[in-house]
Structure 1
Amino acid sequence: MTKIGFIGSGNIGSTVARLAVAAGHDVVLSNSRGPETLRDLVAELGPKARAATPAEAAAAGDVVVVTVPLAAYRDVPAEPLAGKVVIDTNNYYPERDGVFPELEDGSSTTGELLQKHLGEARVVKGFNNIWFEHLRSLARPSGSADRTALPIAGDDPAAKQTVTEFFDSIGYDVVDAGPLAENWRTQRDTPVYVHPYGTFGVLPGTPASARGVRDLVAAAKRAGA
Structure 2
Amino acid sequence: MKIGIIGAGNVGATLARRLAAGGHEIKLANSKGPDTIRELARDVGAAAVSKEEAVQDVEVVVLSIPFGNYPELGKLFSDVGTDVIVIDTSNYYPFRDGAIAKVDAGMPESVWVSEQIGRAVVKAWNAALAATLADKGLPEGTDGRIAIPVAGDDPKAKAIAVKLIEATGFDAVDSGGLAESWRQQPGTPAYCTELATTELTAALRSADRSSAANNRDTLIEQFMTAGASLTHDETVALNRAGTVVTKS
Please give the TM-score of this superposition, normalised by the length of structure 1: 0.88
Which structure has greater helix proportion? 2
Which has the larger Rg?
2
| Alpha-carbon offset, residue 223 of structure 1 | 2.2
| Alpha-carbon offset, residue 80 of structure 1 | 4.1
Output the amino acid matched with 1:56.
Answer: E
Output the amino acid matched with 1:25.
Answer: H
Equivalent residue pairs, number: 209
8 Å CA contact 1:109–1:181 kept in 2: the answer is: yes
| Alpha-carbon offset, residue 61 of structure 1 | 2.4
| Alpha-carbon offset, residue 141 of structure 1 | 1.4
Aligned to 2:19: 20
Separation in 2, partners of 1:11, 1:34: 17
Separation in 1, partners of 2:89, 2:211: 25
Aligned equivalent of 2:65, options 60, 64, 68: 68
| Alpha-carbon offset, residue 20 of structure 1 | 0.5
SS in 1 for 2:205: helix
Separation in 2, partners of 1:179, 1:161: 13
Aligned to 1:220: 207
| Alpha-carbon offset, residue 124 of structure 1 | 0.4
SS in 2 for 1:5: strand
Aligned equivalent of 1:138, options 136, 139, 150: 136
Query: Identity percentage over the alignment?
Result: 38
Residue correspondence of structure 1 range 3-152 to structure 2 within 5 A:
3-46=2-45, 49-76=46-73, 77-83=76-82, 84-106=84-106, 108-119=107-118, 121-152=119-150
| Alpha-carbon offset, residue 224 of structure 1 | 5.2
Aligned equivalent of 1:168, options 166, 178, 182: 166
Please give the TM-score of this superposition, normalised by the length of structure 2: 0.80
Q: Deviations over 1:33-86 (max 9, x none)?
A: 11001111122124xx20111111011321111011111112221224441111
Separation in 2, partners of 1:62, 1:21: 14
SS in 2 for 1:134: helix
Q: Deviations over 1:75-119 (max 9, x none)?
A: 22122444111110111111111111111111x211111222333
Unaligned runs of 5+ in 1: 198-207
The root-mean-square deviation of aligned C-alpha atoms, in Å, is 1.5
Highest RCO, 1 vs 2 (Cα 8 Å, sep ≥ 6): 1
Output the amino acid matched with 2:43.
Answer: E
Aligned to 1:204: none
Separation in 1, partners of 2:79, 2:129: 29
Q: Deviations over 1:12-40 (max 9, x none)?
A: 00010111011111110000011001111
8 Å CA contact 2:7–2:65 kept in 1: the answer is: yes
Output the amino acid matched with 1:109.
Answer: P
8 Å CA contact 2:7–2:64 kept in 1: the answer is: yes
| Alpha-carbon offset, residue 184 of structure 1 | 1.0
Output the amino acid matched with 1:26.
Answer: E
Separation in 2, partners of 1:218, 1:102: 24
Query: Aligned in 2, Cα 1:81/1:66: closer, same or farther, shift over 3 Å?
Result: farther
SS in 1 for 2:56: helix
Q: Deviations over 1:106-152 (max 9, x none)?
A: 1x211111222333x43100111111011111111112123221001
| Alpha-carbon offset, residue 166 of structure 1 | 1.2
Pair 1:189-2:187 in alignment? yes
Residue correspondence of structure 1 range 206-217 to structure 2 within 5 A:
208-217=195-204
Output the amino acid matched with 1:219.
Answer: S
Separation in 1, partners of 2:54, 2:201: 33
Unaligned runs of 5+ in 2: 213-248
